[in-house]
Amino acid sequence: MNDTSPSIATKRQPVADKAPWSLADFVLRWESILVLLLIAVVIGNTWRSPYFLDIYNLSDATQNFAEKAIVALPMALLILVREIDLSVAAIIALASLMTGLAAQAGVPAPLLFLVGPLVGMACGLFNGTLVTRIGLPSIVVTIGTMSLFRGIAQVVLGDQVIATYPSGYTDYGQSYLIKWPPLYLSFIIFLVLAVVFALVLHRTAFGRKLYAIGNNPVAARFSGIPVERIRFWLFVLTGLLAGLAAALLTARIGSTRPNIALGWELEIITMVILGGVSIAGGSGTIHGVMLAVFIIGLIIFGLSLLNVPGIVISVLLGTLLILSLAAPLLLRRLLRR
């Protein structure tokens, strides 16, 4: 007969729900590193230029990255689910072209803001159909559509520029929507969209589905998540916001050129990767992307104040993209040790 008394019975120890955080865990968090990097950028630019901290100069600086930042938000979700869209800058060019043609046809100013998003949505539908319905790799599809959309704009425009936009349209892009602090429409739209994207990704069941798809799309599919449908609509969303960025950019510069937004895909993807979204999918935050947006935007603004050539800035952005890809791997190895 087995006799197990309470005095000698093995007592089960309670298990903590979460492992305790250490100082190293906090310091080595990617968002913490980005905050330190942002502080360093501000200090460095302030030291190098006395005009950097001027409130109106900073407000003008937001115009140079707000449209890119708007596109970076849906791009973050695409990369999170192991997809990518390299045609976003070409979508901006095509949407700007169609906006210019609509302005020449006499479309009223308020309706011009709808042309870009509608064209962008159509481009996103095309990309999403090729990727999710036919099963082609997104990187191959969007390289092709990048040439297609940009090529259409260049063929139609040639060496011409469309600059006949009504003042009711350009005023929205060139004037402060809020007088103090001085804020432009594009930057306000970015802030609102960033809050919405952060809430959806980090506080809803849909956001958890995106992380599940990025971590293991096969397991997510067997769990009943409509993987291909979600990916399809993310392409549509990316095209839609690229079209919105085109409408805002065209209103800001007041013209449509064949090379409009040329090379923006590099900056947008750098914002996302630097923000901590893994190129392999399954990890990343909107908070990190927002920090990366401000870091890259202020770096470019500070270099422009120092009259650094654009080609040098492009080299620095390429280097930053490579470092963004390598740094998380090095941090993981350091944490394992």
User: Is the residue at 12 inside a domain?
Assistant: no
Nearest residue to 250 (alpha-carbon basis) of 81, 120, 83: 120
User: Is the residue at 228 inside a domain?
Assistant: yes
Res 41 pLDDT > 70 = yes
| pLDDT averaged over every residue in the chain | 87
User: Is the residue at 335 inside a domain?
Assistant: no
* pLDDT tens column, 205-221: 999 999 999 999 999 99
**Cα torsion 129, 130, 135, 141: sign:** negative
Q: What is the pLDDT of residue 243?
A: 96
Rounded distance between C-alpha atoms, residue 55 and residue 180, angstroms: 10
Of the pLDDT bands very low, low, confident and very high (cuts 50, 70, 90), residue 7 is very low
User: Is the residue at 11 inside a domain?
Assistant: no
Domains contained in the chain, number: 1
Q: Say which CATH number the domain at 243 has.
A: 1.10.3470
Read off the pTM.
0.88
20 vs 157, residue with greater confidence? 157
Highest mean pLDDT (candidates 155-159, 241-245, 314-318, 324-328):
241-245
User: Is the residue at 301 inside a domain?
Assistant: yes
Q: What is the pLDDT of residue 16?
A: 41
* pLDDT tens column, 252-309: 999 999 899 998 998 999 999 999 898 888 889 999 999 999 999 999 898 888 888 8
Res 183 pLDDT > 70 = yes
User: Is the residue at 86 inside a domain?
Assistant: yes
User: Is the residue at 316 inside a domain?
Assistant: yes
Q: What is the span of the domain harbouring residue 294? A: 52-327
Backbone angles phi, psi at 183, to 5 degrees: -130, 135
User: Is the residue at 305 inside a domain?
Assistant: yes
Alpha helices (H) in 161-275, listed in sequence order: 167-174, 185-203, 205-215, 217-222, 227-253, 264-274
Q: What is the pLDDT of residue 26?
A: 52
Rounded distance between C-alpha atoms, residue 276 and residue 35, angstroms: 12
Q: What is the pLDDT of residue 13?
A: 47
Of the pLDDT bands very low, low, confident and very high (cuts 50, 70, 90), residue 137 is very high
Q: Would you give the DSSP letter of residue 9?
A: S
31 exposure class (CB count in 10 Å sphere: 0-12, 13-18, 19+): middle
Do 118 and 243 touch, CB atoms closer than 8 A?
Answer: yes
Element containing residue 183 per DSSP (H, E): strand 183-184
